[in-house]
Amino acid sequence: MLKIGEGGFGTVYRGRVKPSTTNDEPVVVAIKKLNQHSLQGHKEWLAEVQFLSVVDHPNLVKLLGYAAENGERGIQRLLVYEFLPNRSLEHHLFQRMSPTLPWKKRVEISIGAAQGLAYLHGGLETQVIYRDFKSSNVLLDENFKPKLSDFGLAREGPSGDHTHVSTAVVGTHGYAAPEYVETGRLKSQCDVWSFGVVLYELLTGRRALDRNRPTGEQKLLQWVRQFPVDSSMFTMLIDPRLRNQYSLSSAREVAKLADRCLNKNAMNRPTMTEVVESLQKALVMSEEKTSSSSSSSQKQQSHGVLLSPRFVDQKHGMIGRQGKV
C-alpha cells in the first residue's frame, strides 16, 4: 500500500482490493487506518460506517467496506473508500507546485460541493448537518468532480419543533460559524457559513487561517473586508495565480454569495439549494471575459506574444459526534 495522507486520527493509504464476486481486475481504493489512540472513538467510527452505508449522492464519497480486528470494537479499524485520484480542493488551491485551477473549474467544483451539502440538508428523511465543511474535505475524482468526505463529525439536524441541536463544539478553526462556537447550538446554517469561507478560499487562493502570513493577513475573513465586492479594490483579492484569466462579473457574483453565507444573522443566510442556484448563475458568467483580462491579452498580443493555456479544464443512519483523519 502507498501512503497518501495522514492526520490526527490516522493514516490514508492507496491500495487495491480484488472483487469477491467477479473475475474483474483489482479496484484501486483509499484505505483509512485509524490509529490505536485516535480521538475518533468506536461510536463515531461506527456512525461514519452506518451513515455512508445508507446515503447515495454523486457528490458524496462512497464507502466500499470496513474492517475491525476482534470485532467492531477491535483496536485495528479500517474504512475503505473509492479512490479519488486528484486529491483535495485544498491541495489544488494552496500547493504552489500543483497546476492552478482555472476559474471556471473552481466554480464547477463549488457547485458540486454545494449540491452535496444540499442533499444532506434536504434530501434525506432526517436532515444531516455536516459540521466540518472545508477545502481539505472536498475530494476530486479523475474529472475533478467534487465529493465530500469524512463524516465522523456529522450530526442529525433538529427535528419537530426544535430549532437547533445542542452539542459539544467540534470542527476546524477558521471554518466554524461564530454562533456555533459561542453557544454550541448547531443548525444547517452553520454549514452555510463554512461554505462561505471556502468560497473566499476559491476566490483568493488563501487559507482560512494562515499563521505564516503577516499579522493583518492571517485571518482570511478579516483580510477580505478591505476589498468590498462593489469597489474598485475588489480585484486585489483575486488569486494572483489566475493571472486575470477569469470573469470579473462571475467573481463578483461568487463574492456576493460568500458574503450572504457569512451573514452574522444565521437566519439571513441562504439555503444550500439557493447557493447552488447562485453558483450556476456565476458559472454562466464565467464564460465572459473581464475587461482586465481582455486588455491584458491585447497588450501581450501587440508585443507578439502567443498566449498558450496553462491548464486543462476538464438514506440516513445514526450520525456520530466526532472523528476524522
Burial class (CB in 10 A: 0-12, 13-18, 19+), 158: middle
Task: Assign 88 to helix, strand or coil.
Answer: strand
Running DSSP on this structure, what letter comes out for residue 169?
A: -
137 is in an annotated binding site: yes
Catalytic residue, candidates 132, 141, 161, 210: 132
30 by DSSP, 3-state: which? Answer: strand
Count CB atoms within 10 A of the CB of residue 197.
24
Q: Is 105 annotated as a binding residue?
A: no
- Take residue 193 and report the three cell numbers written for it: 457559513
SS3 per-residue string spanning 141-167: CCCCCEEECCCCCCEECCCCCCCCEEC
Integer angstrom CA distances of residue 292 from 4, 12, 92:
39, 43, 24
Q: Are 127 and 157 in contact (CB under 8 A)?
A: yes
Query: Which residues, 6 or more positions from 159, have their beta carbon under 8 angstroms from its beta carbon?
Result: 126, 127
Cβ atoms within 10 A of the Cβ of 283, count? Answer: 18
23 assigned to a ligand binding site: no
Look at strands 10-17 and 2-7 and give their pairing.
Answer: antiparallel
191 is annotated as an active-site residue = no
Binding residues for Mg(2+): 137, 150
Binding residues: 33, 137, 150
Active-site residues: which are they? Answer: 132
